[in-house]
Amino acid sequence: MAEKMYPITLTVNGEKKEAQVEARMLLVHFLREQLSMTGTHIGCDTTSCGACTIILDGRPVKSCTVFAVQADGRSLRTVEGLEQDSKLHAIQDGFHQEHGLQCGFCTPGMMMTTVALLERNAAPTELEIRQAISGNLCRCTGYVNIVKAVQHASAAMLAAKTAKTAAPATAEPVAAGRG
Amino acid sequence: MVIPPKFAYQPARDLAHAFQLLAQGGGEAKILAGGQSLIPLMRFRLASPAALIDLNRVPGLAYIIENGDLRIGALTREYELETDAVIRTRYPILAETAAVIADPLVRNLATVGGNLAHADPANDHPATMLALRASVVARSAKGERVIPIDELFVDTFQTSLRPDEILTEIRIPRRGPKTGGAYLKLERKVGDFAIAGVAAYLVLDDRGNVKSAGIGLTNVGSTAIRAKKAEAALVGNAPDDKAIAAAAAAASAESQPTGDLRGPAEYKRDVVRVLTSRAIRSAVARAKGGS
């Protein structure tokens, strides 16, 4: 018997998507297999590692622990949506500048968690950063450079905001400016 | 890839619709709230409900209101308990409990109602709710009943909720003066279940003696345990070193841990003793300080 398909409409990185999914399809599988958006990783398959973190209606969640059908009518953001107009997001630049990764497998999840953090708290303390990423496991770095990457992004985003306020007519999004 | 078994997805429009879907499910349907315990269980094939009734689209199930007693909607997310101003200032034990559940990503979806209805002795809210003398509201097509928390947990993953009922609200007696509580959890790492956890909630009288005490224990038995002898060791006494040591020893004796990869039973009993002592001290400080 063919499995029942459920129609869903959702917004992914600002784009409207319509699809048919099985009830049991997890959101991460939907992203990777049906939308071919493989930036969101599957690390542990057990709701432990946070590699699959995406932002669902403004809050970072593990996309391996949500059914795709539950995302019907909702808005989500993935790592693919960070770069805008060929410019890296400040968090991507931060991970680059501070070498916030080694193998890179946890990085998409780390970035989605910390983008959500910085949107809520523009200048988090080191403790707040460490608490925010406590559901994202990295087995390479020891987290030191990840924390620095987030601090780098925080400073860049604050500087960009200040520049914008000071000179709104000429302000460039400096957050992503590298060299 | 770990894929859950097939099921029928049934988003409930409102509670009446949810009750109707539950009746149609004939005991084979499960309620889906935050899904942070249920979905992993389904992926491990430890649960294979024929249908999931999704409550997430039912309006009006997520709220925190202190009007007389404290009322928390079952669908309130853990992060809301962590950050809510009333909870943080008036019921810090609840914010403290929410803040050590799983990890921040899980807490963005996990719900307080789900944490209780799942009845996992390793979950953190049950012990705190036992200490707080909470009750839960169970609603069905026939009406509603209020279940004292002492009567909710029957066994591991088993509650006294009837098959046609949905846990919709948690009620906590209004915090009066000279009242304080604390929840302490020892875990190997963020995201792990407790080696042991202890909730303490105390009301002091005008002389500073303990008027009432609630002590709840996490993950040291087949359900969360209310440590009644530990409570009795405190009530009527000044919360001094002697009374606290007696209560901590009693809680340790009332715990029923089993040895596992989180440690042998003797170790866990001692963790209960130490955490009970610390949780009581913290509760006393808060009761005296008013925060």
State ipTM: 0.94
Residue B261 and residue B193: Cα distance in Å, rounded? 11
Say which CATH class A90-173 falls into.
Answer: mainly alpha
CA distances from B63 to A69, A162, B116, B139 (A): 25, 37, 16, 17
What are the structural domains of chain B? 8-54 (3.30.43.10), 64-172 (3.30.465.10), 181-289 (3.30.390.50)
The fold adopted by the segment(s) A5-81 is: Ubiquitin-like (UB roll) (3.10.20)
Cα A10 from chain centroid?
17
Question: Is B56 in Cβ contact with A70 (below 8 Å)?
Answer: yes
What are B82-113's pLDDT values in tens digits?
999 999 999 999 999 999 999 999 999 999 99
- Domain boundaries along the sequence of chain A: 5-81, 90-173
Question: Is A135 in Cβ contact with B6 (below 8 Å)?
Answer: no
B165 dihedral zone (left: phi>0; alpha: psi -120 to 50; beta):
beta
Quote the pLDDT of residue A171.
46
User: Rounded to 5 degrees, what angle do the CA atoms B143, B149, B154 make?
Assistant: 95
- For the record, the structure tokens of B54 come out as 């999704």
Q: What mean pLDDT do residues B267-275 have?
A: 98
User: What is the 3-state composition of chain A as percent helix, strand, coil, each rounded to the nearest 5?
Assistant: 40, 15, 40
Quote the pLDDT of residue B1.
66
> What length is written for chain B?
291
The model carries a pTM of 0.94
What are B35-70's pLDDT values in tens digits?
999 999 999 999 999 999 999 999 999 999 999 999
Which residue from B222, B216, B223, B215 is spatially nearest to B153, judged by alpha carbons? B223
Residues of B with a Cβ under 8 Å from any A Cβ are: 1-9, 32, 35-36, 39-40, 42-44, 52, 54, 56, 79, 102-106, 108-109, 190-191
Cβ count within 10 A of residue B151: 11
Of A45, A59, A134, the CB nearest to B2: A45
Question: Is B5 in Cβ contact with A59 (below 8 Å)?
Answer: no
Residue A145 and residue B33: Cα distance in Å, rounded? 36
Q: Name which of B103, B187, B189 to mutate to probe chain A: the one with the most chain A Cβ atoms within 10 A of its Cβ.
A: B103
Q: Residue A152: which residues within 8 A CB-CB, separation 6 or more?
A: A90, A93, A94, A97, A98
Of A26, A42, A61, the CB nearest to B105: A61
CA distances from A51 to A106, B22, B58 (A): 5, 35, 30
